[in-house]
Amino acid sequence: MRHLSLIACVLLLAGIAAQAQSPASASTEQVKNVPSFDLNAMDKSADPCVDFYQYACGNWIKNNPIPADQPEWGRFNELHERNQLILRNILDKTAADNPGRSSNDQKIGDYYYSCMDEAGIDAKGMAPLKPMLDRIAALQNKSQLPGLIGELHNNGVRVLFDFGSEPDAKDSMMEIAGADQGGLGLPDRDYYTKTDARSQEIRQHYVAYMAHLLVLAGEPQPQADQDAAAVMKIETVLANASLTRVELRDPYNTYHPMKIEAVDSLFPSLELSAYLKQENVPDSVLSNVDISEPKFMAAVQSELATEPLDSLKAYLRIHALNDAAPSLSSTFEDAHFDFYSKYLRGVPQMPARWKRCEGQVNRSLGEALGQEFVARTFSKETKQKVLVMTEQIEQAMQQEIENLDWMSPATKQAAIAKLHQVDNKIGYPDKWRDYSSLTIERDDYFGNVLRSHTFEEKRDWAKVGKPVDKSEWFMPPPTVNAYYNPQMNDINFPAGVLQPPLYDPKEDDAPNYGDTGGTIGHELTHGFDDEGRQYDGQGNLRDWWTPADAKGFEDRINCQRDQYANYIIVDDIHINSKLTSGEDVADLGGTLLAYLAWKKQTAGVHLEDRDGFTPDQRFFIGYAQWACENERPENLRVHAITDPHSPGKYRVNGIVGDLPQFAQAFGCRAGQAMVSAKVCKIW
């Protein structure tokens, strides 16, 4: 399935029953709220004008070491764990084989039950994957590849490229088919192309890991080493042809619609018709196919045409094993964890089985599980309060746009028109997803995983040639995150992120506007960052800026890029500010908009000091404390390459230094670290 460009700011029968009801099982009493304004998190010995992040988060950082099963730990993780406990309560209840369960409860309960049956999964070994491996082994010639690739994609094995539905970038009301770069086993193309010692070491470990998977599957070590080397060669070719993450930020780099005949002519080895037959997509709905990265697809064409069939089969076999490993016996799951989590990210311990199973159910049946989560955690009153806050922040943005001295009237008019067309989605979908055609069996975990992939693939391909469903969500309700979708021009706040400590309806407005208000402003600002601004109010890729206004915008975000490029993530690795630019712009604009909205909300109201802090100070501390975090050095190195967000420290200190309102609140003077010598201002 090809995802939209989202800016965001993942036993024996008796034994499993006993485990589900064990003393370690969650109860509602275990689900505790963490304060959204946390005095104990603060290090009051620090000077807020020298290091505000340390002042707001210092004691939290000291007192919250990273759990052994996590690559990082922060306030978002605290909330995620709180939500996990709530979901576990739901799953423990629905896992009981009760004939009175609803259809959704049967599916989420039996999926969870089958995943928790660790002894049963281990007893099956790799047998559940054998039919897929047998089909790969049975390949006799390359003409059979397109159909098999389609079958693997249906089963969640994203080999060579990604392919699925997407809104047409220049006709955002219609879904088309789109092919995208993919097919790599390492987290990013840079892992294959960089020549430093660490990157070379990672590649060696990756080859050894691939060979280990093959040996676990019964292949002799010498042949496994040879096959792993062949796969590394194929993936390196694909990586060199892939766009960088910075290049992917420009939507014009990834929109190349073609007729099917043109695709067949340019990439004959893909045999698109054979692939689409596997996906049950009629030719009649495929007027255009978006080949997002033609250079990449040319590399796929070359590999299919020139690589020996045995090497291609090794590539398919390894990816089938790698994708299936977390859902197979513990031998495969451990191997996968040891490479991707322990080695790459420095995580010493695998999360508890129930956490892994809860995550799998949430990924596969998120809206079925989410309905009960919403019923337990999210009130109509909270939804209404957040909607009001969102509308106030939109009003603040309109005022900011109207008062800009660098934007022409024509561009202002278009920007305000786009702002008024933003759709605010709060909490959960208006229409829940229908899982009735998905079969979930109580004693077939791997089958449930495959059927879930096939269900999503079928649902995705069914969109092609039809109007875009503007009501669709791309995060399930329990998710602790939010996003802006430029092709739908909507901001989406799942119920999971609107919980303490990020949003607390019992708290006063100042920290709530600083935290959740800042996040709302952040997502809204994404519609006008360096990527989002290229889409109009309908979600169409269209240049609605005058050349002078576009230059004025770029000059201002270059100020922030220069600022963030000086910040160090870990070792001597600096922030790639061209990658983080959109998130940095959204942090700065979102915090300012939330502050202005809060000021308007409380205009004429006498606000008293609380806990020894002024209301303005509470706003900024509320903003900062969402970003309290600790992160392993290994994970920081991964994020330096892959994450478009800056580390939490700089998402706080880098922002407040550019806001005169902060300096006034804390009495900071020119020359102090939290007062930028050159203030960057976009909105």
**pLDDT tens readout for residues 656-673:** 999 999 999 999 999 999
pLDDT at 11: 36
Q: Is 374 helix (H, G, I), strand (E, B) or coil?
A: helix
Q: Looking at the 3D structure of the chain, how many domains does it have?
A: 2
pLDDT at 25: 40
Residues 302, 391, single domain; the answer is no
Q: Tally Cβ neighbours within 10 Å of residue 489.
A: 22
pLDDT in tens, 271-296: 887 787 777 777 767 778 999 999 99
pLDDT at 407: 96
Run of H or E including 94: helix 75-94
Question: In whole numbers, what is the pLDDT of the chain averaged over residues?
Answer: 93
Mean pLDDT of 107-116: 98
pLDDT at 19: 32
Residues sharing a CB contact under 8 Å with residue 403, sequence separation 6 or more, in sequence order? none
Residue written as token pair 């309290």: 628
Residues 627, 653: Cα–Cα separation, whole Å: 11
Residues 572, 546: Cα–Cα separation, whole Å: 39
In percent, how much of the chain has pLDDT > 70? 95
Residues 386, 302, single domain; the answer is no
pLDDT at 542: 96
Residues 307, 418, single domain; the answer is no
Give residue 2's pLDDT band: very low, low, confident or very high (50, 70, 90).
Answer: very low
Can you give the C-alpha Rg of the chain in angstroms?
A: 25
- What phi-psi label fits residue 489: left (phi over 0), alpha (psi between -120 and 50 degrees) or beta? left
Residues 527, 657, single domain; the answer is yes
Give residue 115's pLDDT band: very low, low, confident or very high (50, 70, 90).
Answer: very high
What's CA 102's distance to the chain center, in Å?
Answer: 30
pLDDT at 535: 97
pLDDT of 204 > 60? The answer is yes
Residues 488, 4: Cα–Cα separation, whole Å: 9
Q: Could you tell me if residue 185 is inside a domain?
A: yes
Q: Could you tell me if residue 25 is inside a domain?
A: no
pLDDT at 26: 41
Residues 401, 262, single domain; the answer is no
pLDDT at 30: 59
Query: What CATH number is attached to the domain comprising 218?
Result: 1.10.1380.10
Residues 396, 310, single domain; the answer is no
pLDDT in tens, 410-434: 999 999 999 999 999 999 999 999 9
Residues 243, 131, single domain; the answer is yes
- For 274-320, give the secondary structure using H, E and C: HHHHHCCCCHHHCCCEEECCHHHHHHHHHHHHHCCHHHHHHHHHHHH
Q: Could you tell me if residue 477 is inside a domain?
A: yes
Residues 414, 504, single domain; the answer is yes
- Token duo for residue 115: 């995943």
Residues 322, 385, single domain; the answer is no
Mean pLDDT of 381-390: 94
- Token duo for residue 638: 């991964």
pLDDT at 294: 96
pLDDT at 24: 37
pLDDT at 6: 61
Cα three-residue angle 299-302-304, rounded to 5 degrees = 110
pLDDT in tens, 302-325: 999 999 999 999 999 999 999 999
Domain extent at residue 567: 378-431+471-666
- Token duo for residue 372: 């009960």
Residues 145, 151: Cα–Cα separation, whole Å: 10
pLDDT in tens, 217-273: 999 999 999 999 999 999 999 999 999 999 999 999 999 999 888 998 999 998 887
Residues 300, 406, single domain; the answer is no
pLDDT at 534: 96
pLDDT at 261: 86
pLDDT at 318: 98
Give residue 21's pLDDT band: very low, low, confident or very high (50, 70, 90).
Answer: very low
Mean pLDDT of 434-448: 98
pLDDT in tens, 479-509: 999 999 999 999 999 999 999 889 988 889 9
Give residue 15's pLDDT band: very low, low, confident or very high (50, 70, 90).
Answer: very low
From 311, 327, 343, give the residue that closes a domain. 327
Higher-pLDDT residue of 274 and 55 is 55
Residues 284, 415, single domain; the answer is no
Give residue 683's pLDDT band: very low, low, confident or very high (50, 70, 90).
Answer: confident
Q: Could you tell me if residue 62 is inside a domain?
A: no
Q: Is 672 helix (H, G, I), strand (E, B) or coil?
A: coil
Residue 473 · residue 423 · CB < 8 Å: no
pLDDT of 1 > 60? The answer is no
pLDDT of 13 > 50? The answer is no
Give residue 17's pLDDT band: very low, low, confident or very high (50, 70, 90).
Answer: very low
Give residue 470's pLDDT band: very low, low, confident or very high (50, 70, 90).
Answer: very high
pTM for the whole structure:
0.93
Residues 63, 78: Cα–Cα separation, whole Å: 13
Q: Could you tell me if residue 580 is inside a domain?
A: yes
Q: Could you tell me if residue 557 is inside a domain?
A: yes
Mean pLDDT of 603-632: 96
Q: Could you tell me if residue 279 is inside a domain?
A: yes
Give residue 99's pLDDT band: very low, low, confident or very high (50, 70, 90).
Answer: confident
Query: What CATH number is attached to the domain comprising 406?
Result: 3.40.390.10
Residues 614, 479, single domain; the answer is yes
Q: Could you tell me if residue 160 is inside a domain?
A: yes
